[in-house]
Amino acid sequence: MNNARQPITIAVLLQDLEFGGTQQYALRLLKHMDRAKFSPELWVLRGGDDMAALAAETGVNVVRFSDAKTVTPFALAHLAWRLFRSRPQILYTLTVVPNIWGRLLGTLARVPVIVSGYRSLFPRQWERLLWRLSDKIICNADALKEIMVRQLAVAPERIAVIPNSVDTDHFRPEPAAKAAQPTVVFVGRLVAEKDPMNLLEAFRLAAQRLPRAQFEIIGGGPFQPEMEARIRACSLESSIKLLPAIADIRPALRKAWVFALASASEASPNVIIEAMAAGLPVVATHVGGIPELVEDGTTGLLVEPGNPARLAETIVALLTDEERRRTMGEKGRERVLARHSIQTMVSQTEQVLLEAARP
């Protein structure tokens, strides 16, 4: 398929450019892809511009099919037209709706190679039916591959596991930026998978033990109104701050003492790698691919999900042990440098794409 003189044309299809780990992954990949091997474009199905500036920095052509808040029939029709008209050599679908409609329409348009990214533990994209339309599926965690093989009957040879990456220079530690008072931060969408209400309860319990401590919850989502009401009802406004999503989370990570995550389910959250790159110890739940990222007792501490009391106890233990925090933070950054560099992720992804594109 690939003419040695011409780079492979590839369209990376996203649902939107809202804040999210998958969007970050796609933009990092696009920015660093070898232009001698690939000629990439970014296709987006709907509105949501949180990361539009970062998309522009990739230097690739961005094609927006609709500015609506939801994926509309018009956007899907536009996608179909674009596929038939330009017929990229590779279509790489990411996020739920693109993984459904991108594969269906790409198959109808006879796109030569379809690669799908699967980065969620929930089979919300008809994977049991649609995986055969993908020449290759890229996962970000072994736990996710195991679920796909065991529960969704996906052929294991069809799946490649490529861990998430982070710009380790961008997220380097800044010891001078640490807050004077104990500070814990969470960054992520306030959705059921993240179990934000149990996170809030853990923060409430920890605040009772350490009245000087500050807790920041950064991100928006459907649980936000309920969380705001709970904070007011418990008179916790001075201790727990609910803050909107931000494009640059480095200042929040650099001033924090601990990063916390209470997820009920996860694949391989980017934000954990970013926190570790910034030198933060991580307190998180033992679910999904998190144990592949956080070495319990070495780079952070893992607790069972759905237990805010235990989560609070673990957070307090780290906040009151400076030496342990420092050691875990250093070990965490070393682990990220060794396993999660952007260069490694891009090289591995390019190899999968090149192999999939071979005639």
- Residues 96 and 150 reside in one and the same domain: yes
Q: What is the pLDDT of residue 129?
A: 87
Question: Distance (Å, rounded) from C-alpha 51 to C-alpha 31?
Answer: 13
pLDDT-derived band of residue 167, with 50, 70 and 90 as boundaries? very high
Q: Would you say the C-alpha torsion 222, 219, 236, 324 has a positive or negative sign?
A: positive
- Residues 276 and 353 reside in one and the same domain: no
Highest mean pLDDT out of 16-20, 24-28, 152-156, 312-316: 312-316
2, part of any domain: no
Q: For the segment 170-183, what is each residue's pLDDT rounded down to a tens digit?
A: 999 999 999 999 99
Arithmetic mean of pLDDT, 298-305: 98
Domain holding 138, by residue range, is 8-165+341-357
Question: Distance (Å, rounded) from C-alpha 54 to C-alpha 247?
Answer: 9
- Residues 199 and 282 reside in one and the same domain: yes
Work out the mean pLDDT of the chain and round it to a whole number.
Answer: 94
Q: For the segment 72-104, what is each residue's pLDDT rounded down to a tens digit?
A: 999 999 999 999 999 999 999 999 899 999 999
DSSP string, 249-289: -HHHHHH-SEEE---SS-S--HHHHHHHHTT--EEEES-TT
pLDDT above 90 for 267: no
3, part of any domain: no
Q: What is the pLDDT of residue 358?
A: 82
Q: Which of 247, 245, 256, 246 is nearest to 174 (CA)?
A: 256
Highest mean pLDDT out of 21-25, 143-147, 194-198: 194-198
Classify strands 159-161 and 136-139 as parallel, antiparallel or unpaired: parallel
194, part of any domain: yes
Arithmetic mean of pLDDT, 34-44: 98
Query: Cα–Cα distances in Å, from 71 out to 46, 282, 346?
Result: 5, 35, 29
